[in-house]
Amino acid sequence: MTDIDLGSRPSGAELAAMLSQFAPHLGIVFLSSYPRAAAGAKAMGIERAVFVSKQDLGSPDDMVAALERALSSRPAPEVEIPAAADPLGELTRHQLEVLAMIARGWSNDQIAAASSSTVRAVERSVSRIFDRLGVTGDASVSPRVAAATLYLSAFGPARDSSW
């Protein structure tokens, strides 16, 4: 749920568009004092978004009904891939943490320092990660880049640069 005018960037419409692209299953509700005509046929250009005028809200039940409309009009989230078919599901928690650092572009030295381990231990861990992910064996592909790509496609870019 967002207002159209948030007072700064991104606007509510931009925020909703970004969230819709990132998570198409989210319901979008615009709660605004702008007239309905300002939202257009598709609320702010967002398919299946629900527009609610602040002036027309009479009770909390009206807001609940708008939220239910927005949620019922969104496509269902994609079914998760079973862990057996997902190579990342084969990694331990520690290996996922190391892979997250690889995806951030960290060197083995940086990973060793951040995890209070030796560079040699990190090298062994990285080698096991690459083997489990099946990203070794093709000389034309960097295993580090391939592993980072798998991680980023599953989890997206890191939100926090510190560990």
* Nearest partner of 76 among 154, 23, 22, 18, judged by Cα: 23
pLDDT tens, position by position, 71-118:
776 555 544 444 445 778 788 888 989 999 999 999 999 999 999 999
- Coil, strand or helix: which one is 43? helix
Are 67 and 29 contacting, i.e. CB atoms less than 8 angstroms apart? Answer: yes
- pTM of the predicted protein model: 0.48
* pLDDT of 114: 93
Within a domain: 51 = yes
118-129 pLDDT tens trace: 999 999 999 999
Domain count, the chain: 2
The whole-angstrom separation of Cα 77 and Cα 113 is 39
pLDDT of residue 54: 80
State the residue range of the domain holding 121.
83-155
110 shares a domain with 58: no
CA distance 115 to 109: 10
